[in-house]
Amino acid sequence: MSNKVVVLGPTKGNIKSKIDDKTIKELNSYAKNYKELELFYVDTSQSIEKVIEQCKNALVIFPTTIFPEITFIAEKIPSLKLIQTFSAGTDWLDKIKLSELGVDVANNNGANAVAVAEHAINLMFSVNRKLDQQITSVKNGQWMDDVKGDIEEFHTLVGKRIGIIGLGRIGSRVAKRLHGWECELVYYDNLVLETKYVQDSGAKYLELHELLETSDIITIHVPLDRSTKHMISKNEFKLMKKTAIFINTCRGPVVDEKAMIEALLNNEIFAAGLDVTEIEPIEKDNPLLKMENVIITPHLATRAIESQKNAYENSLKNATRIVKGEKPQSIIKAV
């Protein structure tokens, strides 16, 4: 059986996940411990014909970023068994078609779960205390003068009900960390969860409507697929408290952004903290950018050296399982 693993991505352009000398050096340093594998780096900036030729006989592909042509490539490489992402999200991959080709898709097995959980809590705290305004005001030489809002708009997290939608690898870690903030934790999930996630979280289950109606802060942690696209829309925002803060660090399209903008403009909810938007990069005329009660970060919740290390190690371990004829972990269901 082949032991060829292709790391697939662009070598040019301003893309944080491009294949450059640093990426190659770092990934090769981890791969030294996986002698069963032979890594090849293929530049997606070249013609698709050259990409296919260089991917020939590959057993596993590691895409470093979104590459829509990857299904077409898979059709041309009968040896391919696994597409292994460094990220948690696999929504851009046609998993149904790939499954028909005999190709599994696996994500990073929670490699960035801690970083995203920490970022979600960071957004909760930042929105509650308007940290973005405080930092900007000082840097602009205005000390506290540019910080808007009455004292009633500034809150601690103590005693607040935090509603967690999706209690998997990330949501359960959010809950576990918030125990130290003396919060009341509730969750909703439409999946049958592993017992450890529920036990570790210490959160109480509520139906979605009750969670939305009663939570002070709502944070969502679900994968993006056909069942979760726009799962939070106009009706869901209308259920929330007028004082509610909405946090999204998973994927932009799980939220109907137009409905969220309306809810914010109509004071149906108090504020939002976002690491993701429906269109990325966010369009310059997006109304969210002008709202003082919205904090947006550029989809970098995962960005931590620990996340990268975990993702590389997980990917190499899964590729080794394929080479050995074993079943890979963290396979994503084709839906």
Write out pLDDT tens, residues 24-36: 999 999 999 999 9
* Residue 83 and residue 24 share a domain: yes
* Residue 173 and residue 71 share a domain: no
Write out pLDDT tens, residues 39-78: 999 999 999 999 999 999 999 999 999 999 999 999 999 9
Of residues 13 and 308, the one with the higher pLDDT is 308
Write out pLDDT tens, residues 263-276: 999 999 999 999 99
Q: Does residue 17 surpass a pLDDT of 90?
A: no
* Residue 236 and residue 106 share a domain: no
* Residue 180 and residue 123 share a domain: yes
Report helix angle 169-178 to 113-129, nearest 10.
50
Return the pLDDT at 7. 98
Return the pLDDT at 101. 98
Q: What is the CATH number of the domain that holds 107?
A: 3.40.50.720
Domain assignment of residue 146, yes or no? yes
How far is the C-alpha of 60 from the C-alpha of 291, rounded, in Å?
A: 44
Domain assignment of residue 41, yes or no? yes
Of residues 175 and 197, the one with the higher pLDDT is 175
Write out pLDDT tens, residues 73-118: 999 999 999 999 999 999 999 999 999 999 999 999 999 999 999 9
Average confidence (pLDDT) over 180-188: 96
**Looking up tokens 């957004």, which residue turns up?**
123
* Residue 307 and residue 231 share a domain: no
Return the pLDDT at 2. 83
Domain assignment of residue 53, yes or no? yes
199 pLDDT band, cuts 50/70/90, is confident
Domain assignment of residue 328, yes or no? no
Q: What percent of the chain has pLDDT over 70?
A: 99
Average confidence (pLDDT) over 168-179: 96
Per the prediction, the chain carries an average pLDDT of 96
Return the pLDDT at 14. 67
**Looking up tokens 């890594």, which residue turns up?**
39
Between strands 4-9 and 60-63, the pairing is parallel
Return the pLDDT at 16. 73
Return the pLDDT at 196. 82
Tally the C-alpha atoms within 13 A of residue 226's C-alpha that lie toward its C-beta.
7
**Looking up tokens 């269901």, which residue turns up?**
333
Return the pLDDT at 273. 98
Return the pLDDT at 334. 86
Provide the domain limits for residue 79.
4-111+303-323
Domain assignment of residue 51, yes or no? yes
Return the pLDDT at 1. 66
Domain assignment of residue 191, yes or no? yes
Q: Catalytic amino acids?
A: 251, 280, 299
Q: Does residue 242 surpass a pLDDT of 70?
A: yes
* Residue 167 and residue 151 share a domain: yes
Distance from the Cα of residue 180 to its chain's centroid: 24
* Residue 290 and residue 217 share a domain: yes
* Residue 276 and residue 178 share a domain: yes
pTM listed for this prediction: 0.94
193 pLDDT band, cuts 50/70/90, is confident
How far is the C-alpha of 79 from the C-alpha of 54, rounded, in Å?
A: 13
Return the pLDDT at 328. 96
Domain assignment of residue 332, yes or no? no
Return the pLDDT at 114. 98
* Residue 279 and residue 219 share a domain: yes
Q: What percent of the chain has pLDDT over 90?
A: 93
* Residue 29 and residue 148 share a domain: no
* Residue 227 and residue 152 share a domain: yes
How far is the C-alpha of 274 from the C-alpha of 292, rounded, in Å?
A: 13
Q: Does residue 258 surpass a pLDDT of 70?
A: yes
* Residue 152 and residue 219 share a domain: yes
Number of domains in the chain: 2
CA–CA distances in Å: residue 17 to residues 9, 20, 297:
8, 9, 17
Average confidence (pLDDT) over 271-286: 97
Domain assignment of residue 131, yes or no? yes
